[in-house]
Amino acid sequence: MTIKEYIITLHNHEDLDSFYQDMETPGGNLYIPNRAVDVVNRRPISRNTHYWLTDQEAEQVRNDPRVWDVSLTPKELGITIEPTWTQTGNFTKTAMASTNDKNWGLLRTLLGSKITNWGGSGGYPDVATQTTTINYPLSGKNVDVVVVDGFIRPNHAEFKTNADGSGTSRINQHNWFDYLSGDYQYTATNNYNADHGAHVAGIAAGNTQGWARDAKIYNICLYDDDNDGFDDSGNPVNFNWYDHIRVWHNNKPVNPATGRKNPTVTTNSYTAWMDLSLTYMNTYGATIIHRGVTYYGPWTTTGNGTKTWQQLGFHSGPYPRNGEYWVRFIPNLTSMWADLQDAINDGIIIVFSAGNDTRRQDVPGGLDWDNRVEISGYYTYYINRHPYTGNLSGNLDKILNVGNIEASRWERPVNITNRGAAVNIWAPGDGIVSAISRLSPEGHANDPRGLNGDRIISLSGTSMSGPQVTGVIATLLELKPSFTQSEIKNYIQSQAKIGLIDESFATTGSYDDIWSLQGSQNLTLFAPQPTFSISVTTTSASPGQTITYTITTTNVPDGSTIYLTEAGSAIASVFNDNTTQFTVTINSNSGTLTRTVSPSLNISYSSRLQLRTGGYNGTVQATALTVQLLKFYTLTAENFTINNNSGTLNFTLPANSIDRNYNVTVEAGGYLLSFQLVNS
């Protein structure tokens, strides 16, 4: 029997050791082969282990109660990972990319509403450019954005620390193999994958085209162009990139600027596909189960004589290649589900693009969730599930799965975008301008900063809508780094605009109706503008006196962290809290800080608190009024008398009192007199 590489996915990490023992020692049982099974790849942080098995042994192991699934590796299945975008300049709202064009998704997402006649009416390119200034106070400070995509050229001006293209690169080329042997290689190759990675990164975190302009950017490549098991730089690709991301995320150091580890958000703009030939399907008796009904072959280019391919849930019919016709599937990968579930449990936030297959993506319990192709009882290929975000259990339903709205004035679903109940948020992804890695591809424009031969381009696809959501999330993590996957999905959906996607062009709403949402929620990404202010109960205080600061915000999530830093002359010992840095938690758009002036204050100071987001080194959003901290001096004056309600008081202040502010109490002639001396 032929031995193949299989991935065995367990339900629980706790069962790994016993399962290793059973599989890798002689002897077996009802579920374990009666031999010592050879290991291909044991992945310590994952529930997935790769073994050499026959098809019959794989079916045997699948019945073990510890086992969630057994599947051939993506390479064995012939699965290919590719970017989910199509290059076209016809749908841009700023016309085909020119030097000064910007990502129209920024303006649209901040507005939260349509602009009348912005975009074409079908006879492209009858578009209108919106020339305006937008402001957004959040920039993803002390947040890590991981671009799971093609390699990015790090010296592009869009990824520098300053918007003029100066400063150092924000691309961090981490050694993803740091818990294995070897070094992770980075090469921004001269191909479309590198362009795609840079374009996605620019939308999520570029300094002129993106959202999280102060975030750190990380990059891990997943593309295996020739399906030889290696990416463009020669790094092995085994669909286990989230193992590496989890190890890095879990071992981050505490950032002293925030007192916690940086949060992680990953953007994933790719799809997986595989092909089956009609010859193979007919030879092995393939059946298709659609909405609970089983359909049999023989299969032809039009279907089976009863149903067409589109009626069975496919985007299109078979296509010719090498003298045969092939059907394309978007396969489900249980092993990847497990990795994503574990990443979410570790606190990583994940965003996926829905894909560009005009395919209906369903959720568990939906009419099309179980649509599938079955081959000889061994292999099952689901037709209408997102390959990564669909799952019967766990937390993958909390992943934001982003559809693409058109650049037309109607802002309807782009004709090729996936849709359906599994698509849970929509964002601009059509005709989006951003950076590319290559220096001179067709359709490019010069980057306006004129550095390094940098280029920008307009691209379209859900690959461009997904990073819009990722970028907004990165800015929200600046406010609330403790966001969980479930919380961030709920927050993004709660802020989204309802009903703005134009579905009026839909006619039947059937599977092949390209203008129908087909059950997707009509929610468009919206980033409401947060505001910040800080007030104080007094502008002067004495030793032992309490000062209360009140922070008032708008559009700030509950549980957000505000940082306050001292900008006056006060030092840590001036107050009982003995510090010059504070954090305040915001709930219902409000928070307070109370401080008490030290009773032992022996010199006067000024205190001026700055309100920051993203850390003690974060952006200053507001500054409180200056509070003068006035030292009490008690002095004695001699020969003090009052005649006719007046008198002269003579006393001497300490020598170091010049240019100081004091509260002075004087005991003289049986009287207790108080003065405030300012700039004495």
pLDDT at 648: 66
Task: Give yes or no: residues 425 and 339 share one domain.
Answer: yes
Structure tokens at 629: 């901290």
Q: Report the domain count for the chain.
A: 4
Quick one: tokens of 77?
């299945």
Q: Are residues 573 and 481 in the same domain?
A: no
**Residues β-bridged to residue 216:** 144
Domain endpoint, select from 474, 498, 524: 524
Q: Which of 50, 72, 94 is the last residue of a domain?
A: 72
Which CATH number belongs to the domain containing residue 38 in this structure? Answer: 3.30.70
Q: Which residues of the chain have pLDDT under 70?
A: 1, 78-96, 120-129, 188-190, 226-227, 390-394, 442-443, 632-680
The verdict on 277 and 420 lying in the same domain is yes
Which pLDDT tens digit goes with each residue over 559-616? Answer: 999 999 999 999 999 999 999 999 999 999 999 999 999 988 878 888 999 999 999 9
DSSP state of 159: G
Looking at the domain assignment, is residue 78 inside a domain? no
pTM, rounded to two decimals: 0.88
Q: Where are the alpha helices (DSSP H) in 482-523?
A: 485-495
Estimate the share of the chain in helix, then strand, then coil, as percent rounded to the nearest 5.
15, 30, 55
Domain membership of residue 584 (yes or no) is yes
**HSE-CB for 258 with a 13 A CA cutoff:** 25
Q: Which residues contact 261 (CB under 8 A, 6 or more apart)?
A: 252, 253, 254, 255
Question: Is 91 found in the same domain as 38?
Answer: no
Question: What would the DSSP string read from start to end of 516-546?
Answer: --TT---EE------EEEEEES-SEE-TT-E
- Which domain does 408 fall in, by range? 83-524
pLDDT in tens, 289-338: 999 999 999 999 999 999 999 888 887 789 999 899 999 877 778 888 89
Angle at 442 between CA 456 and CA 192, to 5 degrees: 75
Strands 531-536 and 605-607: unpaired
Residue 561's CATH number: 2.60.40.2840
Q: Do 480 and 358 share a structural domain?
A: yes
First to last CA, the chain: 98
* pLDDT at residue number 274: 83
Whether 572 maps to a domain, the answer reads: yes
Cα torsion angle, 597, 603, 609, 614, sign: negative
456 domain residue, yes or no: yes
- In 10 A of CB 321, how many CB atoms? 10
Q: pLDDT value at position 293?
A: 96
d(CA 658, CA 557): 48
Q: H-type helices in 206-310, by residue range?
A: 241-250, 278-283
- Does residue 500 fall inside a structural domain? yes
Q: Using the Cα atoms of residue 615, residue 616, residue 618 and residue 623 in order, give the sign of their dihedral.
A: positive
Q: 508 with 564, same domain? A: no
Of the candidates 65, 109, 482, the one whose C-alpha atom is nearest the C-alpha of residue 260 is 482
Spatial distance between the Cα atoms of 493 and 104, rounded to a whole number of angstroms: 21
110 assigned to some structural domain: yes
- What distance in Å separates the CA atoms of residue 258 and residue 614, rounded to the nearest whole number? 7
Structure tokens at 279: 């010859």
- The answer to whether residue 288 is domain-embedded is yes
For residues 264 and 297, state if they share a domain. Answer: yes
CB 24 within 8 A of CB 8: no
Task: Write the DSSP assignment of 279-347 as a string of letters.
Answer: HHHHHTT-EEEETTEEEE---BTTBSSSS-TGGGT-SS--EEETTEEEEEE----HHHHHHHHHHHHTT
Q: The domain that contains 321 carries what CATH number?
A: 3.40.50.200
Provide the pLDDT for residue 639: 56
- 619, 642: one domain: no
CB 449 within 8 A of CB 165: yes
Q: Are residues 435 and 468 in the same domain?
A: yes
Same domain for 143 and 107: yes
Whether residue 536 is found in the same domain as residue 517:
no
Residue 77 located in a structural domain: no
Together in a domain, 146 and 33: no
Task: Report the pLDDT value the prediction gives residue 662, as an integer from 0 to 100.
Answer: 57
| CB distance 580 to 571 below 8 Å | yes
What pLDDT, on a 0 to 100 scale, did the predictor assign at position 188?
60
Final residue in a domain of this structure, among 52, 72, 92: 72
